[in-house]
Amino acid sequence: MAKTTAEFLREQGKAEGIAEGKQDAVLKLLRLRFQDVPEVLSREISNIHNLTRLDMLLEQAMTVQSLEEIDTHLSFNHRKVHETTTEKCTKTRNFGR
């Protein structure tokens, strides 16, 4: 059965709310552990909407020894996601060859 527009919007709003809650949790934990969180790192975390990635960041926020490690993990994860996406696109394009 197809979803109504209202059901779709409700689900989308719920997912956005969950992501915002996880973003807030990561930032709050980092502020508790390290006091000042640079604005650039805060913005980068606030722009992540992937729930799995936010869960990974929350775990990292509990265990890292410095904010630089969080920044490194963000860059690495972003690169890894990009590489995986690029590989899939290349495989798809080359499939018919």
Domain containing 45 equals 5-94
pLDDT, one tens digit per residue, over 42-79 is 999 999 999 999 999 999 999 999 988 886 566 655 54
Quote the CA–CA distance of 81 and 38 in Å, as a whole number.
Answer: 24
> What was the pLDDT predicted at 44?
92
| pTM to 2 decimal places | 0.68
pLDDT at 41 over 80: yes
> What was the pLDDT predicted at 84?
40
Domain tally, the chain: 1
**Cα angle at 70 between 66 and 71, to 5 degrees?**
110
**How much is the mean pLDDT over the chain?**
79
